[in-house]
């Protein structure tokens, strides 16, 4: 036990010492022209496809119902999508493509397991026979 305490203390000492060292950051001025430069012509078809994908996503009935349940007007959401830049629409389309179709069931099961395990260890529940309560 003393060896473990010594190891943890040494690690904390090294970590705190390294955190106190000065950090360096660099900054540069970005000209307005660089930010407002038009997108290359090759990106235009991709932007149109991404915009169409996002609009079709918002056109689905289950998405509309979810927006209504959260208090969002669907027409207002579509008008905001129309006002987005091509880069923002591409980012939103990427998020739509990466979203799980049925939800993250494995993540939910893992979260429930962790919550039950912690409450079991704290002595609030007795679900798992392999845990010992702190009480």
pLDDT per residue as tens digits for the range 84-97: 778 878 888 887 76
pLDDT digits (tens, 9 = 90+) for 32-74: 887 777 655 544 567 788 888 888 888 888 878 877 887 777 7
pLDDT for the residue 4: 92
Inter-residue contact 86 to 52 (CB < 8 Å): no
End-to-end CA distance of the chain: 22
Looking at per-residue pLDDT, the higher value among 64 and 104 belongs to 64
Token digits of residue 50: 């991404």
Judged against a pLDDT cut of 70, whether residue 99 lies above it is answered with no
- What angle do the packed helices 74-83 and 61-69 form, to 10 degrees? 110
| Residue recorded with tokens 């001025």 | 29
Domain ranges of the chain: 44-99, 102-135
Residue 121: CB partners within 8 Å, gap ≥ 6? 131, 132, 133, 134
Residue 131: CB partners within 8 Å, gap ≥ 6? 117, 120, 121
Rounded CA-CA distance 102/96 in Å is: 13
């Amino acid at each position: 036990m003393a060896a473990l305490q010594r190891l943890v203390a040494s690690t904390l000492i090294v970590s705190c010492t390294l955190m106190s060292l000065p950090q360096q950051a660099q900054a540069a001025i970005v000209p307005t022209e660089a930010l407002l430069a038009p997108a290359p012509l090759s990106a235009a078809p991709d932007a149109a496809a991404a915009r169409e994908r996002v609009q079709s996503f918002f056109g689905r009935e289950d998405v509309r119902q979810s927006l209504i349940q959260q208090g969002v007007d669907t027409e207002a959401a579509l008008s905001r999508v129309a006002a987005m830049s091509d880069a923002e629409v591409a980012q939103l389309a990427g998020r739509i493509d990466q979203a799980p179709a049925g939800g993250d069931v494995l993540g939910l099961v893992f979260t429930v397991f962790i919550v039950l395990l912690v409450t079991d260890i704290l002595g609030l529940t007795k679900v798992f026979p392999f845990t010992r309560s702190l009480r």
